[in-house]
């Protein structure tokens, strides 16, 4: 079988630091923190009272009011980001075959807000089961992919994959392979998450996973800092249009970058903690390089998972050193979660977009909120603290890891 080359022709994003791809990228380069006090519900009694919320989002600016009420917030965000990506790619019914154009769009959790609202309303009632007829369709996490396909008439492969915080990277990987194997011409892939609600924050608080730095939210997400105390929850959505190279050329599309390879592994270790030596992370980066036919020294930038948890940041750096050896010291490394917070199931797609922009513009976005060196981290590694770095980025690797020990990596490179 002749394997196809897969390129990127469209991007879309709505994030805590910008509601378009350009605004998001500007926010990254400006070192903007998206963290602040929670406004979506009263969090005054919670251990964590802040998050990285999407700002100024009005769904009826994008959707008919009646339609907006039929979908959960995570689907609303998915529709917005995918609309931007599809428009950016210049896709229309006149230049793609709808039967060979698909959507793989993921979420780590899905419609948690809808679930919470419906169950709380039932619990407060008289016991009569009065549930919204859209309860189940609003809640299930595959529904975003369904709405995107129906909105644009795409009849190709359509589903969601779920692997907690690695979900949208796995979506990109699946879309990449569908095209690489010749089973589709165009795929819209990504992920969305919107669980800044009572149940979401309380659940992660109970796990002791979230930062509790309520007195200083904007500096709470501090990957690789000695005093990091957990991740900052974020919300948002990222979408990427992947396209078979010859198909993109035939329709005159602008090609922004190429997907070189990807990997997926498991830690097989613990439900929430990473393997202490970063074994799964090490294996997944090696798998990505192998599929790409690249050597470690071909990578210039790694957008790390870097959630700002005590164990995770150290395990990932061990894995990087294990894969890249001496070249690790020539790499630029950064965690954009220091600005966006952790977008959970949407993190992979949103961070892949950061990598794609790095490849396009030859700029590495920074890791902000670094105040104190951690003795457990190699001081010779370049974490791109505080300021973006201008350098040639031939290829960038994006890591995402999820509860359950799920690991996913994807490599994007300049299109030549």
Q: Give the tens place of pLDDT for each residue, 288-346.
A: 999 999 999 999 999 999 999 999 999 999 999 999 999 999 999 999 999 999 999 99
Whether residue 232 is found in the same domain as residue 266: no
**Does residue 255 fall inside a structural domain?**
no
Whether residue 310 is found in the same domain as residue 365: yes
In this model, does residue 93 exceed pLDDT 90? no
Element housing 11 (H / E):
strand 6-14
Percent of the chain with pLDDT over 70: 100
Identify the bridge partners of residue 11 per DSSP, sorted by sequence position. Answer: 240
Q: If you compute the radius of gyration of the chain from its CA atoms, what whole number of angstroms results?
A: 20
CA dist., res. 233 & res. 270, Å (int):
21
**Does residue 352 fall inside a structural domain?**
yes
And the tokens for 88? 């950016």
305 has catalytic annotation:
yes
CA dist., res. 206 & res. 200, Å (int):
10
**Does residue 405 fall inside a structural domain?**
yes
**Does residue 166 fall inside a structural domain?**
yes
And the tokens for 310? 């005590």
Cβ atoms of residues 21 and 28 within 8 Å: no
And the tokens for 238? 């990222």
**Does residue 257 fall inside a structural domain?**
no
Whether residue 267 is found in the same domain as residue 211: no
Whether residue 244 is found in the same domain as residue 278: no
CA dist., res. 93 & res. 97, Å (int):
7
Global pTM? Answer: 0.97
For residue 175, what pLDDT is reported?
98
In this model, does residue 189 exceed pLDDT 90? yes
The residues near 283 (Cβ < 8 Å, ≥ 6 apart) are 263, 265, 407
**Does residue 234 fall inside a structural domain?**
yes
Domain boundary among 197, 222, 250: 250
342 has catalytic annotation:
yes
Domain boundary among 250, 276, 294: 250
Chain centre distance of CA 178: 20
- Options 88, 170, 247, 342, the catalytic residue: 342
For residue 315, what pLDDT is reported?
95
Strands 101-106 and 186-193: parallel
For residue 1, what pLDDT is reported?
78
CA dist., res. 402 & res. 404, Å (int):
6
- Options 152, 170, 275, 305, the catalytic residue: 305
Whether residue 102 is found in the same domain as residue 222: yes
**Does residue 350 fall inside a structural domain?**
yes
- Options 52, 152, 165, 197, the catalytic residue: 165
Cβ atoms of residues 266 and 407 within 8 Å: yes
In 228-267, alpha helices (H):
245-250
Length of the chain: 416
What CATH number is given to the structural domain containing 363? Answer: 3.40.47.10
CA dist., res. 245 & res. 40, Å (int):
42
Domain of 357 in residue numbering reads as 262-413
User: In 10 A of CB 175, how many CB atoms?
Assistant: 27
Instruction: Please count the structural domains in the chain.
Output: 2
Q: Please give the torsion angle defined by the CA atoms of residues 373, 375, 381 and 386, in that order, rounded to the nearest 10 degrees.
A: -10
User: In 10 A of CB 370, how many CB atoms?
Assistant: 21
Whether residue 193 is found in the same domain as residue 300: no
Q: What is the DSSP string of 66-91?
A: HHHHTS-HHHHHHHHHHHHHHHHHT-
CA dist., res. 35 & res. 15, Å (int):
11
Strands 332-334 and 363-364: unpaired
**Does residue 96 fall inside a structural domain?**
yes
Whether residue 37 is found in the same domain as residue 156: yes
- Exposed/middle/buried for residue 64 (C-beta within 10 Å: 0-12, 13-18, 19+): exposed
For residue 354, what pLDDT is reported?
98
User: What are the tens digits of pLDDT across the range 154-176?
Assistant: 999 999 999 999 999 999 999 99
Cβ atoms of residues 138 and 71 within 8 Å: yes
Mean pLDDT along residues 262-280: 95
Whether residue 266 is found in the same domain as residue 246: no
Whether residue 71 is found in the same domain as residue 198: yes
User: What are the tens digits of pLDDT across the range 32-41?
Assistant: 999 999 999 9
165 has catalytic annotation:
yes
Domain boundary among 250, 278, 308: 250
CA atoms within 13 A on the CB side of 235: 30
Label residues 213-249 b or e (16+ Cβ within 10 Å = b). beeebbbbbbbbbeebebbbbbbbbbbbbbbbbebbe
Whether residue 90 is found in the same domain as residue 123: yes
And the tokens for 41? 């519900």
Whether residue 147 is found in the same domain as residue 231: yes
CA dist., res. 393 & res. 356, Å (int):
10
Whether residue 220 is found in the same domain as residue 344: no
Mean pLDDT along residues 251-262: 98
């Amino acid at each position: 079988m002749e394997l196809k080359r897969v390129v990127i022709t469209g991007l879309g994003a709505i994030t805590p630091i910008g509601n378009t791809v350009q605004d998001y990228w500007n926010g990254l380069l400006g070192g903007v923190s998206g963290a602040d006090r929670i406004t979506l519900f009263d969090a005054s009694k919670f251990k964590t009272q802040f998050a990285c919320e999407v700002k100024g989002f009005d769904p009826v600016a994008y959707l008919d009011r009646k339609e907006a009420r039929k979908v959960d917030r995570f689907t609303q965000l998915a529709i917005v980001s995918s609309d931007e990506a599809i428009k950016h790619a210049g896709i229309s019914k006149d230049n793609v075959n709808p039967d060979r154009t698909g959507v793989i769009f993921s979420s780590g959790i899905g419609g948690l807000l809808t679930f919470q609202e419906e169950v709380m309303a039932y619990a407060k009632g008289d016991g009569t089961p009065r549930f919204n007829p859209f309860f189940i369709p609003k809640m299930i996490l595959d529904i975003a992919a369904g709405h995107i396909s129906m909105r644009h008439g795409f009849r190709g492969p359509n589903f969601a994959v779920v692997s907690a915080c690695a979900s949208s990277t796995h979506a990109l990987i699946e879309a990449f392979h569908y095209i690489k194997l010749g089973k589709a011409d165009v795929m819209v892939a990504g992920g969305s998450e919107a669980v800044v609600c009572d149940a979401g924050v309380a659940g992660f608080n109970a796990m002791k996973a979230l930062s509790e730095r309520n007195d200083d939210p904007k500096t709470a997400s501090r990957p690789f800092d000695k005093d990091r105390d957990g991740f900052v929850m974020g919300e948002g959505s990222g979408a990427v249009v992947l396209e078979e190279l010859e198909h993109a050329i035939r329709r005159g599309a602008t090609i922004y970058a190429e997907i070189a390879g990807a990997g997926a592994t498991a830690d097989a270790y613990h439900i929430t903690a990473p393997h202490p030596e970063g074994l799964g992370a090490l294996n997944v980066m090696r798998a990505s390089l192998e599929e790409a036919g690249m050597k470690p020294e071909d990578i210039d930038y790694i957008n790390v998972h870097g959630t700002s948890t005590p164990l995770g940041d150290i395990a990932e750096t061990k894995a990087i050193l294990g894969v890249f050896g001496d070249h690790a010291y020539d790499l630029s490394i950064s965690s954009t979660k220091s600005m966006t917070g952790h977008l959970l199931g949407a993190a992979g797609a949103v961070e892949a977009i950061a990598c794609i922009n790095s490849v396009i513009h030859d700029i590495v976005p920074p890791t902000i909120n670094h105040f104190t060196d951690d003795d457990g981290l190699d001081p010779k590694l370049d974490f791109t603290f505080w300021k973006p770095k201008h350098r040639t980025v031939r290829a960038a690797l994006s890591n995402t890891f999820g509860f359950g020990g799920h690991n996913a990596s994807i490599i994007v490179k300049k299109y030549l």
